[in-house]
A and B are shown apart, each in its own frame.
Chain A
Amino acid sequence: MNMRIACAPLAICMAMSGNQSLAQDLTGEIKIWSWNVAASAMETVGAEFMAANPGVKVVVEDLGNQGVYDRMLAGCAAGGNDLPDLMTVENHEAEIFWTQFPSCFADLNELGYTPEMQAIFPEFKRVELESNGASYAMPWDSGPVVMFYRRDIYAAGGVDPATIVTWADFIAAGARIQAASPGVTMSQADLNGDTDWFRMIANEQGCGYFSADGQSININAPGCVAALDALRSLYDAGLLRSASWDEKIQSNNASTVATQMFGGWYEGSIRTTSPEEQSGLWGMYLMPSVTADGGRAANLGGSSLAMSGSSDNKEAAFAFLKFALATDKGQITMLRDYGLVPSLLSSANDPFTAEGQPFWGDQPVWQLVLGTLPAIKPSHGTPYFGDADAVFRAVQLSYLNGGYPDAKAALDDAAQQIELVTGLPLAQ
């Protein structure tokens, strides 16, 4: 405690000295592990950083999503051997690393990640990155959930998306849309392989697998029951068909689906995989809620950057973190070029977000997406996310096929199974 108080003024000075200190003789190589489009974004920002800091070389290795996870695990299990300076971690599976291998990662607080600096990121992104007074990673991108819809298909059904406020509205609209356009499905969810629809609606309702402090199981709380009820109504109404990631893209391209619900990062997937003639036909609106005055914001996915404890170039690596993630410039570059939605709260005020996007019918979609950031409620992934998710995936499929009398019974069963698997108590 005393140590932290003593360090605080120094840290504040370091943070306040800002860009001038960035250019000061930083040297060495910063190696980063990432995947796909995120790796490309790191390369672009890395080139800008190298231009500002000629003594530093930024090397990005694209190992694929699973590759980064597996090699981080192997490196940490081997006591921090063979790890790069910075590693990309997905928030919901990040805590398993801090819990099992706390000494594998550098505590960013000791490098100048002050409380003031932490506050420039929303709480929901930080809750999984901080543990026992240490900060193990800095938030990168996020996945504010929105509805991606086809303007032409909605118009054919006579539906104005502005009138869709609740899930009941969505169901009524879906019936009209499907009646007007035979062969079109209102929406799709990966009900066999994923739980994302449930997690998005539950997060919107302030519920998650675990309690806010991550110490108990919360999946059978009223918010989650409401979420599963909403999912069931959509499914029973025939408005939500099962489709994997690839099948959704095929349906988008074939114009056989009217709406997709995803994190904001899905923007890039639609824009880059859709045929040219669909330009201008897509739009976005806020996700519906359970009640007319309920919250309409949730998060799905998003990553952060962690620094290995064995990095021999922590100072330069931290300078890079600040440059890439804690400045509007770095974050907006990645948003513009790669569709990575910033976690940084101030980036919502950047002039770029107010620009209409041609592909989206000149709608200023980034304003809509980033506008939901402050309203997103934290949801603790905990080290047990994978276990809980596997349990719920099976329960969800069984419930939709009539395996339980109601949503509460299904979630009570899921809660008990998660209790067995994790040893955590049920929330009172």
Chain B
Amino acid sequence: MRRKTGTAYGFLSPYLLVFAIFWIWPIFYSFWLSFLNTRQPPYTFRPDMTWGRLFQDAAFLNAMKNTFIVLLVQVPLMIALATLMAVLLNSRLLKARGLMRFAFFAPVVVGEVAYAAVFRLMFTAERGVVNKTLESIGLPQVDWFSNPTAAMAVLMMAVTWRWAGYNAILILSGLQSIPDDVYEAATLDRVSPVRQFFHITLPLLKPVILFCIILSIIGTMQLFSEPFLITNRGGPAGATETLGLFLYRQGFTSLNFGYASAIAYTIAAIAVAIAGLNLLFGREKA
């Protein structure tokens, strides 16, 4: 038995070696780095410059606030929209369903840089199609990238456009797993379609929706490309700077690896806390 185990580890060793060098070592090393002042060599032990700075740092708190705004506003909106889209896609009245489903899923296939560039062009102040449209229907133009609220709105619209369809397809698979006879029985009992949706569809979809929410939360914690590319590195003046972008700025623009490591551990801790909450939800249900 023991010999067998040894052989198995022997076969695993090339992978384990790579895993140790590129995963385990960086995890420990960055933890050690997070206590060092890395502003200039030689690095010194100064946790007050990293962990001590974290919750006094207005820019970090701003990035955290922005990330939570996206979590609390964009994620629920997107999931609601995705659920609605899934129900419509599941409708028997819909023609060319396969094409429709692909069309809603397609944004995920588009490269991030390409779609970011298109969004930036669409919302450009004077020549963008959005402002031209607003103007043509008599509404005032919006300075999308200089107004902090408007910039955040653009960011949320872009992320929603890209991921709502993806979530809709996931929810659609959940919808299709609900047996038809449940609805037939409800229809026989003269339950209106709206009540059917709220009392049958939604409760049975709960696990899928919860899964979509968790995926979206993880995605939001990592949100980087959109604020980097669309709102020009979290502009205006940090109004759309997310935790991911802040981490990048500290690590690779300021070359402050110690502080960046502390931020990375904090983001990971927040993600773990959210995963814990998820576990709690799951238990309640059981």
Residues of chain A whose beta carbon lies under 8 Å from any beta carbon of chain B: 70, 73, 96, 99-100, 192-193, 242, 244, 246-247, 250, 383-384, 386-387, 390-391, 393-394, 396-397, 417, 420-423
Please tell me if the beta carbons of A394 and B62 are within 8 angstroms of each other in the complex.
yes
Write out, one digit per residue, whether chain B residues 46-66 have a CB within 8 A of any chain A CB (1) or not (0). Answer: 100100010011110010000
Please tell me if the beta carbons of A73 and B252 are within 8 angstroms of each other in the complex.
yes
Which of B41, B59, B237, B255 is within 8 Å of A193, CB to CB?
A: B237
Please tell me if the beta carbons of A423 and B37 are within 8 angstroms of each other in the complex.
yes
Please tell me if the beta carbons of B59 and A391 are within 8 angstroms of each other in the complex.
yes
Specify the main secondary structure of chain A where it touches its partner. helix
How far apart are the CA atoms of A250 and B125 in the complex, in Å?
11
A192 contact set on B, CB distance < 8 A: 145-146, 235-237
Please tell me if the beta carbons of A394 and B237 are within 8 angstroms of each other in the complex.
yes
B101 CB-CB contact with A under 8 Å? no
| Highest count of chain A CB atoms <10 Å: which of B40, B49, B255 | B255
Please tell me if the beta carbons of B254 and A386 are within 8 angstroms of each other in the complex.
yes
How far apart are the CA atoms of A386 and B251 in the complex, in Å?
12
For residue A176, give the distance in angstroms from its CB to the closest CB of chain B.
27
B132 CB-CB contact with A under 8 Å? no
B39 CB-CB contact with A under 8 Å? yes
B126 CB-CB contact with A under 8 Å? yes
Which of B39, B59, B143 is within 8 Å of A383, CB to CB?
A: B39
Closest A residue to B49 using CB positions: A423
B143 contact set on A, CB distance < 8 A: 242
14 A–B contacts, CB within 8 A, in A order: A100-B255, A192-B146, A193-B232, A193-B236, A246-B124, A247-B126, A383-B39, A383-B40, A390-B238, A394-B58, A397-B237, A420-B57, A423-B46, A423-B49
Residues of chain B whose beta carbon lies under 8 Å from any beta carbon of chain A: 37, 39-41, 46, 49, 53, 56-59, 62, 124-126, 143, 145-146, 232, 235-238, 249, 252-256
For residue B146, give the distance in angstroms from its CB to the closest CB of chain A.
4
B40 contact set on A, CB distance < 8 A: 99-100, 383
Closest A residue to B48 using CB positions: A423
Please tell me if the beta carbons of B238 and A244 are within 8 angstroms of each other in the complex.
no
Closest A residue to B127 using CB positions: A250
For residue A226, give the distance in angstroms from its CB to the closest CB of chain B.
22
Specify the main secondary structure of chain B where it touches its partner. loop
Please tell me if the beta carbons of A242 and B146 are within 8 angstroms of each other in the complex.
yes
How far apart are the CA atoms of A393 and B39 in the complex, in Å?
21
A193-B238 contact, Cβ under 8 Å, with A96-B254, A386-B254, A423-B39: no
How far apart are the CA atoms of A390 and B63 in the complex, in Å?
13
Closest A residue to B259 using CB positions: A421
Please tell me if the beta carbons of A100 and B41 are within 8 angstroms of each other in the complex.
yes
How far apart are the CA atoms of A113 and B250 in the complex, in Å?
34
Which of B57, B62, B124, B253 is within 8 Å of A421, CB to CB?
A: B57
For residue B53, give the distance in angstroms from its CB to the closest CB of chain A.
6
B249 contact set on A, CB distance < 8 A: 386, 390
A394-B59 contact, Cβ under 8 Å, with A193-B237, A383-B40, A420-B53: yes
Please tell me if the beta carbons of B58 and A417 are within 8 angstroms of each other in the complex.
yes
**A-B contact sample (12 more), CB < 8 A, given A394-B62, A394-B237:** A100-B41, A100-B255, A193-B237, A383-B39, A383-B255, A386-B254, A393-B237, A417-B57, A420-B53, A421-B53, A421-B57, A423-B39
B254 contact set on A, CB distance < 8 A: 96, 384, 386-387
How far apart are the CA atoms of A380 and B57 in the complex, in Å?
24
Which of A70, A100, A397, A423 is within 8 Å of B236, CB to CB?
A: A397
How far apart are the CA atoms of A393 and B232 in the complex, in Å?
14
Closest B residue to A422 using CB positions: B39
How far apart are the CA atoms of A96 and B37 in the complex, in Å?
15
A421 contact set on B, CB distance < 8 A: 53, 57, 59
In the A-B complex, the 3 residue pairs with the closest CB atoms: A192-B236, A192-B146, A397-B237
| Highest count of chain A CB atoms <10 Å: which of B46, B56, B254 | B254
Please tell me if the beta carbons of B126 and A250 are within 8 angstroms of each other in the complex.
yes
How far apart are the CA atoms of A275 and B126 in the complex, in Å?
18
Closest B residue to A76 using CB positions: B255
Please tell me if the beta carbons of A193 and B235 are within 8 angstroms of each other in the complex.
yes
A417 contact set on B, CB distance < 8 A: 57-58
| Highest count of chain A CB atoms <10 Å: which of B37, B39, B145, B238 | B39
Closest A residue to B256 using CB positions: A387
Closest A residue to B238 using CB positions: A394
A383 contact set on B, CB distance < 8 A: 39-40, 255
How far apart are the CA atoms of A416 and B27 in the complex, in Å?
32
